[in-house]
Amino acid sequence: MSWVILAVIVGLVLWAVGIYNGLVMARNAYKNAFAQIDVQLTRRYDLIPNLVEIAKKYMAHERETLEAVIQARNAAVSGLGQAKGNPGDPAAMQQLSGAENQLSGALGRLFALSEAYPDLKANQTMMQLSEELTSTENKVAFARQAYNDAVMNYNNRREVFPSSFIANTFAFQPASLLEIENEEMRKAVRVDFG
C-alpha cells in the first residue's frame, strides 16, 4: 500500500514538474520571438537616419516632416528598449505599439511628400534605402506574427486546466501581444520611387 501511495506522489510531482517546464519553455519561446522583433526593428531604426539624410538634401523646405520622422524614430527606439526589458509586459507592448504607429505615420508622410521631388525619387541611394526599408518592414511583420503566435501558445498553456494551478502557484504572468491599432501599420510601408 505504501508503494502505491509513493508511486502516486512521485507521479504527481513529475506531472507538476512537466507542466512547470512546459510553461518555462513557452515563456522562453515568446521571449526568443521578441528578440527577432528586436533585431528587425533595430535594423529599421538604423536605416531611417540615412533615409532622412538623403531626403534632407532634396527636401530643404520640409524640415518639419524630417524632424517628425527622427522624433518618431527616437520614440520607437525608446519603446523598443522598454519592451526588450520585459517582453510580454502589457505597458511595454502598448508603448512600443504606439511608437511604431507614430513612426509609420511619419514615414508615410515623408514618402508622400517625396513624390513631389523627382530628383529625390531618382536618387540611387534613396531607392536602395527604400527597398531595404520595405524588406525590413516585411521581416518585422513576420517576426511580429511569430511573436504573437508564441505569446498565444504561452497564454493558452498558462490558462488551461490543470496548468493554471501551476502557473498561478509560480506566478507565471500573462504576456501581451504586440497589437497594431493603426490600420496603415498592418501593411508594410509602401515605397515606390520608380
Per the structure block, which three cell numbers stand in for 35? 528578440
Per the structure block, which three cell numbers stand in for 48? 531611417
Q: At 183, is the pLDDT very low, low, confident or very high (cuts 50, 70, 90)? A: very low
| 89, 176 contact by CB (below 8 A) | yes
Q: What is the DSSP letter of 118?
A: H
Query: What percentage of the chain carries pLDDT values higher than 70?
Result: 92
| 87, 170 contact by CB (below 8 A) | no
**Residue of 103, 131, 101 lying closest to 192 (CA atoms):** 131
Q: What is the mean pLDDT of the chain?
A: 88
For residue 27, pLDDT over 90 is answered with yes
Query: What domains can you pick out in the chain, each with its CATH number?
Result: 2-169 (1.20.1440.20)
Query: What percentage of the chain carries pLDDT values higher than 90?
Result: 62
Residue 184, pLDDT score: 47
Over residues 41-99, the pLDDT tens digits come to 999 999 999 888 888 887 777 888 889 999 999 999 999 999 998 898 999 999 999 99
Residue 129, pLDDT score: 86
Residue bearing the bigger pLDDT, 115 or 176: 176
First to last CA, the chain: 81
